[in-house]
């Protein structure tokens, strides 16, 4: 299952780093700026987590 996070490029990068400390990520896309939002700094990043459940 591919998941999406949305926010600024800085916020999404920070969140991906936190995810990596808790989960195995198979892939992480680059940052995609939102369309038709010239003044907005927000965008999205897609990631694919491993099927293996983390130890809790």
pTM for this model (two decimals): 0.80
Distance of CA 14 to the CA centre of its chain: 9
pLDDT per position as a tens digit, 21-55: 888 899 999 999 988 767 788 999 999 988 776 65
pLDDT per position as a tens digit, 5-17: 999 999 999 999 9
Residue 3 pLDDT greater than 90, yes or no: yes
State both tokens at 28: 């992480």
Residues near 24 by Cβ (< 8 Å), separated by ≥ 6? 49, 50, 52, 54
- pLDDT of 1 reads 84
First to last CA, the chain: 21
- Helix ranges, 4-54 (H): 9-22
Residues near 39 by Cβ (< 8 Å), separated by ≥ 6? none
Residue 18 pLDDT greater than 70, yes or no: yes
């Amino acid at each position: 299952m591919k998941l999406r996070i949305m926010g600024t490029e800085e916020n999404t990068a920070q969140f991906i780093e936190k995810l990596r400390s808790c989960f195995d990520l198979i892939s992480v896309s680059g940052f995609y700026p939102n369309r038709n939002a010239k003044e907005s700094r927000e965008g999205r990043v897609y990631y694919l987590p491993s099927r293996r459940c983390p130890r809790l």
